[in-house]
A and B are shown apart, each in its own frame.
Chain A
């Protein structure tokens, strides 16, 4: 699975722990949140004061600002859960009256016709199907959340039902929070419905079995000429076949194709043997990886930040030269006996590795490139014996290291006692053996495989990620709808979401990393069909463009901290590639969501108070 950004431990992400320097603290999520909140508050207070200044003069403006801030803060703390719940129920009922359940019908129709556009003839059908249904769920949920929440308050203002509400002892904060909660509840129900439907759809689409091509089964004999089983193929089903191995007792396996296997059983019917295959196994997985830190050695064995770039535009992996001292070294922490797994040959440490092979010459086409793996104690430098292997390119290569093994001098050693350092560290050294050939690695390419998690629980966690996005959209839309009418709130929120989905590009434009310049410069290049890399002509117009872009970029930079990065909330890839979603990641998402929610709630409260009716 591709992880372009390392997932930090929760505490490190939140507070910058272990606080190695000031930068780590300032770069932590909590520090950024506090700084952003402070800046937004200051801007809001100054803005409010200036407006009051223009309308009422300096003395009254100061007085009003003081009272709004102190009164507002005090009132925020008097928000009543009971009243919030009452408003939430109202919002829920209102949504039901607006027939939001139609979204489920729409989703069902999408799934009904999805079969037209999705085929099963891919090598990773599960990946494709999960990607599609989760993306469809995300987009539809966000759309419904947007439509429901953006029009609700404006509709109340328009129909004047808000007057009925405010005649009750309800505060502005109760209204905002109640609406957010109510719409979240209805969204949760819809999301749950979609999750059930989509999981049923994926299961139905991918569930299959095969018949054995009995006519072409070939008997396998041992050295003494006794039959020990049969090999052959299955017939085609869902656009693929499997090679099969059938043992003498009639059981066997249909070997892995398109990321799944089948178990074979047999029974006698009359004089014939009838083979039966189970449903696919391994298509729905939740691998639990434990990642280490990756570093590289160059061809002379000198530590370097990265390996060789073999010319790929995508610099996710870097490569080590074959037949030299170049190596990729992973350091795993906290390794102990609990990482071992019971195997037929005793306890083993299951390591999995993804290798990308790059050949500088074709060599023997029929055989793969040879590599070696070695374990090392980072303290004592004791090394295990080399494990040489033929690399399966772009696939998961499995290595079950036995607990009892030999060191490089062929002396017996214990993996946990001798090769793991006292503080639980273990190094895994990967090298390419063949001269002038290369192996490419990224940090997540080597991991200790812990026992698999529950695919169902993993799927639910993916839905939680979608739920987080939905809550954010609802909060943004409700906040907007406190001051503007429905369509404007919807457009504003849609723009906010769109920018959120392209947050990285937005941030890169703001910080000047994106080639092609700022907004005006880009527009100039588009209109004049100028290449992004060409320098701008030197004239007054382009100087003005650059100057205005500088101002715009500063604005974008500030705005970027108020935008949620929607893509970072997506866990679709985990499900698609069959990897367990770390609880840590979910916790980070929920915390970020809470932070945005708090900010938007406060903003929504003060904005609603500006309306005549809610004072």
Chain B
């Protein structure tokens, strides 16, 4: 009896095992080339949870993870500590080796790749005195990030950072001339099919930016906290930076073609739909249409009850106290600080919203109430979109760069740049007379450019400072010829506006006196009109600090909702751009 029971029990066990095997097979059969695999394999594939979905599967990485026997966290902590120690004691080889071991332990930790690549490219590189050593570690940081990209294919954050490192670190460092030269000559970095002309850091960086955008748009990856405005503007900015860089190196024809291409790409960027942090879809290039649309809607709303705005204004004014009315009617410069605050509050009370207009229309003409409210809502929304668009445009310096792309491709601008370049060369060769002549011809061309595109001297523009640098060079030539800037110098307005460091104070005063202006007028002009932001200041702060931490996605690069940090290179560059 007991034997039989035991036998039956074994049969039952076997049957249960077989049934469970089927269930297990249905659940967890691995995917093959011919079959999608079990339910788990399908889910893994659907939600991209497998290691292979993340990127390259590295046997060394898997081995070391297994070899830590579940103590990966401990091993990672020890290695991070060691890496910090090696950095402190300037043992760069051991630091680099530790980072590579760490990468094998945590290959899918994106922040690790960003942080440590930044460490190598920005913090370790500056520890060396020889620019070739510096370049070596800049490149190591870039290669480290490339390794990270291999482990995390199509990750837009890493792809975008690669574009940033290659573009900005090589192209904006104090050693950018040397770095760009070494980058071009770096046979071991570039793939063999890349031509010498394509071996430009801005162009190579741009390709990574485009890959990042493709991974977002086509492959559906998230960009995390990074601002879409920065991500989508990067390729066009790279083209502009490329054009600017080769222009400084004397390749004017290629630079003109690059500016034309940059203009086209900037326009495309203006048409790209980018999402505001509050969810609105924006197109920066549509600001004129939006402005017109808002004006039309406002007119349409107010046309429902002609004079409604004036009526509301009068009513609101009547509701104010005598003191408030008096403050409103007094010019600002005659008000005390307290009164100014009061005036600000009162101005708020005087604002007329679409809603108030619509409600008044509804009261006066009840049959049009619904229509007016709908129109008011639409108007409020379009106004909001317009405001966001203007903010983004301002942050991206959209109009300046558009103008820049347009004027840089004109004959006058190209000739002006060429003449400046040649004049600088002649000055270096100590041919002062030729240099002087070329500068003067060049400044005449700049005058034409400024007259055609006056907005390039807007406060936010950096072109004025470029021109001022040329003027400084020109003055050095004049100094050596024992001459001074004359009244016929065509760019006094540029000097007046951009001489932030007050290098030309004396010349300006003399010039103004000759022009019949009083010293007081001059002083007031000096103090009031030299507010242009300085690229040099940005660069100086950037290089003096040589940031110690990588850019934060939100604050470092986007500038969307937080102030720029001058201590970090991207922030400084962003401010410049």
Question: When A117-B64, A122-B96 are in contact, do A366 and B90 touch as well, CB less than 8 Å?
Answer: no
- Checking A113, A122, A124, A369 against B63 with a beta-carbon cut-off of 8 angstroms, the contacting residue is A113
- Contacting pair B129 A314 (CB below 8 A): no
Top 4 closest pairs, chain A to chain B, by CB: A393-B129, A116-B60, A357-B129, A124-B93
Closest chain B CB from A124 CB (angstroms): 4
Closest chain A CB from B83 CB (angstroms): 14
- Contacting pair A131 B94 (CB below 8 A): yes
- Contacting pair B63 A241 (CB below 8 A): no
Given contact pairs A123-B136, A359-B129, A393-B129, enumerate 10 new A-B contacts (beta carbons under 8 Å). Answer: A123-B92, A124-B93, A128-B94, A128-B97, A241-B188, A368-B129, A392-B130, A394-B127, A394-B128, A394-B133
Contacts of B90 in A (CB 8 A): 314, 356, 394
- Contacting pair B130 A368 (CB below 8 A): yes
- Checking B92, B96, B136, B174 against A365 with a beta-carbon cut-off of 8 angstroms, the contacting residue is B174
Contact with B along A86-127 (1 / 0, CB 8 A): 000000000000000000000000000100111100111001
The answer to whether A2 has its CB under 8 Å from any CB of chain B is yes
Report the separation of the CA atoms of residues A123 and B93 in the bound assembly, to the nearest whole angstrom: 7
Contact with A along B173-213 (1 / 0, CB 8 A): 01100100000000010000000000000000000000000
Question: When A314-B88, A391-B129 are in contact, do A365 and B93 touch as well, CB less than 8 Å?
Answer: no
The answer to whether A313 has its CB under 8 Å from any CB of chain B is yes
- Contacting pair A362 B543 (CB below 8 A): yes
Report the separation of the CA atoms of residues A410 and B520 in the bound assembly, to the nearest whole angstrom: 63
- Contacting pair A369 B93 (CB below 8 A): no
- Contacting pair B131 A366 (CB below 8 A): yes
- Contacting pair A366 B178 (CB below 8 A): yes
**Chain B residues at the A interface, C-beta cutoff of 8 Å:** 59-60, 63-64, 88-94, 96-97, 100-101, 104, 127-131, 133, 136, 174-175, 178, 188, 543
Closest chain A CB from B196 CB (angstroms): 14
Subset of 22 A-B contacts with CB under 8 Å:
A116-B60, A116-B63, A117-B101, A122-B97, A123-B136, A124-B93, A127-B93, A128-B94, A131-B94, A236-B188, A314-B89, A316-B89, A356-B90, A359-B129, A365-B131, A366-B178, A368-B129, A369-B129, A393-B128, A393-B129, A394-B128, A394-B129
Report the separation of the CA atoms of residues A359 and B92 in the bound assembly, to the nearest whole angstrom: 19
Closest chain B CB from A143 CB (angstroms): 15
Contact with B along A367-393 (1 / 0, CB 8 A): 011000000000000000000000111
Closest chain B CB from A423 CB (angstroms): 36
Report the separation of the CA atoms of residues A116 and B65 in the bound assembly, to the nearest whole angstrom: 13
Contacts of A392 in B (CB 8 A): 130
The residue on B at minimum CB distance from A316 is B89
- Contacting pair B174 A362 (CB below 8 A): yes
Contact with B along A335-369 (1 / 0, CB 8 A): 00000000000000000000011010010011011
Contacts of B93 in A (CB 8 A): 122-124, 127-128
Contacts of B130 in A (CB 8 A): 368, 392-393
How many residues belonging to A are interface residues under a CB distance threshold of 8 Å? 30
Contacts of B91 in A (CB 8 A): 2
The residue on A at minimum CB distance from B175 is A365
Report the separation of the CA atoms of residues A416 and B97 in the bound assembly, to the nearest whole angstrom: 45
Report the separation of the CA atoms of residues A128 and B130 in the bound assembly, to the nearest whole angstrom: 23
The residue on A at minimum CB distance from B59 is A116
Report the separation of the CA atoms of residues A369 and B101 in the bound assembly, to the nearest whole angstrom: 36
Report the separation of the CA atoms of residues A393 and B92 in the bound assembly, to the nearest whole angstrom: 14
Closest chain A CB from B355 CB (angstroms): 50
Closest chain A CB from B73 CB (angstroms): 16
Closest chain A CB from B175 CB (angstroms): 5
The residue on B at minimum CB distance from A233 is B187
Contacts of A359 in B (CB 8 A): 129
Contact with B along A127-165 (1 / 0, CB 8 A): 110010000000000000000000000000000000000
Report the separation of the CA atoms of residues A118 and B97 in the bound assembly, to the nearest whole angstrom: 8
- Contacting pair A393 B133 (CB below 8 A): yes
Contacts of A316 in B (CB 8 A): 89
Contacts of B59 in A (CB 8 A): 116
- Contacting pair A313 B88 (CB below 8 A): yes
Report the separation of the CA atoms of residues A113 and B62 in the bound assembly, to the nearest whole angstrom: 13
Report the separation of the CA atoms of residues A354 and B538 in the bound assembly, to the nearest whole angstrom: 35
Contact with B along A305-316 (1 / 0, CB 8 A): 000000001101
Contact with B along A215-257 (1 / 0, CB 8 A): 0000000000000000000001001010000000000000000
Closest chain B CB from A149 CB (angstroms): 24
Contacts of A119 in B (CB 8 A): 100
The residue on B at minimum CB distance from A317 is B90
Contacts of A366 in B (CB 8 A): 131, 178
Report the separation of the CA atoms of residues A595 and B396 in the bound assembly, to the nearest whole angstrom: 72
Contacts of B101 in A (CB 8 A): 117
* A402-459 interface (Cβ within 8 A of B): none
Closest chain B CB from A328 CB (angstroms): 17
Report the separation of the CA atoms of residues A365 and B129 in the bound assembly, to the nearest whole angstrom: 8
Closest chain B CB from A585 CB (angstroms): 20
Report the separation of the CA atoms of residues A403 and B90 in the bound assembly, to the nearest whole angstrom: 36
The residue on A at minimum CB distance from B130 is A393
The residue on A at minimum CB distance from B58 is A116
Contacts of A122 in B (CB 8 A): 93, 96-97
The residue on B at minimum CB distance from A241 is B188
Contacts of B174 in A (CB 8 A): 362, 365
Report the separation of the CA atoms of residues A359 and B90 in the bound assembly, to the nearest whole angstrom: 17
Closest chain B CB from A202 CB (angstroms): 15
Report the separation of the CA atoms of residues A422 and B312 in the bound assembly, to the nearest whole angstrom: 105
Contacts of B88 in A (CB 8 A): 313-314
